[in-house]
Structure 1
Amino acid sequence: MQNVASLFPPFAAGLARWRAAPLEMLFEDSVQLPSPLGRIGNLELRLASTGKDVKRAQRLRYRVFFEEMSATPSATARLTRRDKDSYDASCDHLIVVDHAPRLNAFGKLKTKPRVVGTYRLLRQEAAALAGGFYTAGEFDIAPLIAAHPGAKMLELGRSCVLSPYRDKRTVELLWHGIWAYVLAHGSDIMFGCASLEGIDPRAMALPLSYLHHYHLATGEWAARAVPGRRVPMDILPKDAVDPRAAMRALPPLIKGYLRLGAMVGDGAVVDHQFGTTDVLIVLPRAVISPRYIDYYGATANRHAA
């Protein structure tokens, strides 16, 4: 596999500054975006602007990935109760905040807003400082990047929503934020890992086979799972796949990507730490369905605050 970092220009001086800078400074190039980015009722969407904001997003990720789902935390994650890695400092983090007061376990009213949804965004120039994209650990995206030398790549990842908030409002706010971010930074191609829960690909033969036969990225958009980790997705022949049943078996996030026009890479990767089987999502901005652009607004104004 080609080293993705070799596709970026050298950033040695910038990397030294990044390592020395306080976390708040890492977000200064996103100030052209309004704050908040959007609002629906008591839910507010914005970009994390401080280290404290990022920590709150990491705590939400820990709660969803490690407490609710089957991910296995490291000793550090268990101690801090935060899902974090080396990429977080180079990313922008969309967060959905609920401002509604609520009762705690002791019946006391709590008015402090809480983070209930998050999405992690890593632009190509920021990935250069981080040593590459997180996705490259599972999928060989170097040919995809090399095939589009003038395009601006945006990695989407670490998305999660607190269980009581997994509804249309929260998801719409997050997609509204991604669209506003794409417009503000001129991103051309979005990609990232998306997960099906479980580590036995044969148990998810129907949805994986459907993705392979009906949504496989080819030509200039093609990318494969890395050697040694790749598991085949075409477990069933195409004539044995019921597309409607397969769509029902897919996680909502992947269904959402497909409705926008996304394609998937060749092969899946089993992530034993997170208890998931991952597929690569490739979503060129140019193929996004016009009805979705109309829905969120050509200037991302549907849920503007």
Structure 2
Amino acid sequence: MMLKRGRYHARLAGNADDLRAAQRLRWLAFIGKRGVVDDGAAIDADQYDDACHHVLIEDQRSGILVATFRFMLLESGTEIERSYSASHYDLGRLREFEGPMVEMGRFCIHPEHADPDILRVAWGAMTRFVDDNKVGLLFGCSSFMGTDAQGYADAFAMLKERHLAPRRWLPRVKAPKVFRFARALRLMKPDPRRAQAGLPPLLRSYLLMGGWVSDHAVVDEQLGTLHVFTGLEIAAIPPARQKLLRGVAG
């Protein structure tokens, strides 16, 4: 068991059935929400699953799987090309990053469960892993539901204005279909309320801790999402926020 807090616990997948349950929830959260016909057995799976650890967050009372994510530990930036993110972004600049890195991906919460404590438990479990492995950078792809960027204009304008990656780590374009929001919205002043409302909860958490994003979003037709590369340098997390995270992680 990785972590137990309140009514939820987080644990690593221990067998093929656990992995399939995670893949099934991913399908429901990313693809099923688009109205795709469900045969009751559809899953979201890819070639990166075998290289990752998978975390399951369950309701202790009902046993229901309410959230999942996967993570891949890299020894340093020299291994960045192994990551899922590197298939969508040119991460050549991050090859210079020294020390352990973790890619966190496919994070999703069951469509019928919206308790904010689920996200807290997820961050607590990841915080424990980060501390145990002396990780220096946490990264991944933060997804906006749907592929129409227009509805997220304020959110993207705010990312452009406040949260772009430092130039030394900034990802370059690699994917065939992208929305270059930093360029397209360079003159737009975001409405703060609409911007916050448009941010995915996971990305909002990253940004509160000092995270940064790419200057473009990738249009992922397979999952029906827009996503931005997101990085969080652990040393840059404000002390008060670190204390909160470690309080959850125990």
Matched with 1:254 is 203
Matched with 1:20 is none
Matched with 1:169 is 117
Conservation of the 8 A alpha-carbon contact between 1:206 and 1:236: no
Query: What aligned pairs does 1:240-251 form with structure 2 within 5 A after superposition?
Result: 240-251=189-200
Which of 97, 119, 136 does residue 58 from structure 2 map onto?
97
Between the aligned partners of 2:220 and 2:232, the Cα distance in structure 1 is 22
- Does 1:292 find its partner at 2:241? yes
Between the aligned partners of 1:165 and 1:268, the Cα distance in structure 2 is 27
Conservation of the 8 A alpha-carbon contact between 2:149 and 2:226: yes
- Does 1:39 find its partner at 2:4? yes
Between the aligned partners of 1:129 and 1:62, the Cα distance in structure 2 is 28
Matched with 2:171 is 223
Which of 169, 174, 178 does residue 126 from structure 2 map onto?
178
Matched with 2:43 is 82
Q: Secondary structure at the match of 1:164?
A: coil
- Does 1:283 find its partner at 2:232? yes
- Does 1:208 find its partner at 2:169? no
Match for 2:218: what amino acid? V
Q: TM-score, normalization: structure 1?
A: 0.74
Matched with 1:68 is 33
Match for 2:90: what amino acid? D
Q: Which moved more, 1:243-252 or 1:191-200?
A: 243-252
Cα distance per residue 1:228-249 (max 9 Å; x no partner):
3332113334552233431222
Conservation of the 8 A alpha-carbon contact between 1:225 and 1:265: no
Match for 1:62: what amino acid? W
Q: Which consecutive residues of structure 1, in runs of 5 or more, have no partner in the other structure?
A: 1-35, 102-112
Matched with 1:54 is 19
Structure 2 CA distance for partners of 1:284 and 1:170, relative to 1, 3 Å: same
Q: Secondary structure at the match of 2:30?
A: helix
Cα distance per residue 1:103-145 (max 9 Å; x no partner):
xxxxxxxxxx23211111011159999971111121111211x
Q: Secondary structure at the match of 2:153?
A: helix
| Structure label with greater radius of gyration | 1
Conservation of the 8 A alpha-carbon contact between 1:151 and 1:187: yes
* Identical pairs, percent: 29
Match for 1:81: what amino acid? A
Structure 2 CA distance for partners of 1:248 and 1:238, relative to 1, 3 Å: farther
Matched with 1:108 is none
Between the aligned partners of 2:220 and 2:80, the Cα distance in structure 1 is 21
Between the aligned partners of 2:135 and 2:5, the Cα distance in structure 1 is 25
Q: Secondary structure at the match of 2:185?
A: coil
Between the aligned partners of 1:78 and 1:128, the Cα distance in structure 2 is 41
Match for 2:132: what amino acid? A
Between the aligned partners of 1:151 and 1:208, the Cα distance in structure 2 is 30
Between the aligned partners of 1:181 and 1:173, the Cα distance in structure 2 is 13
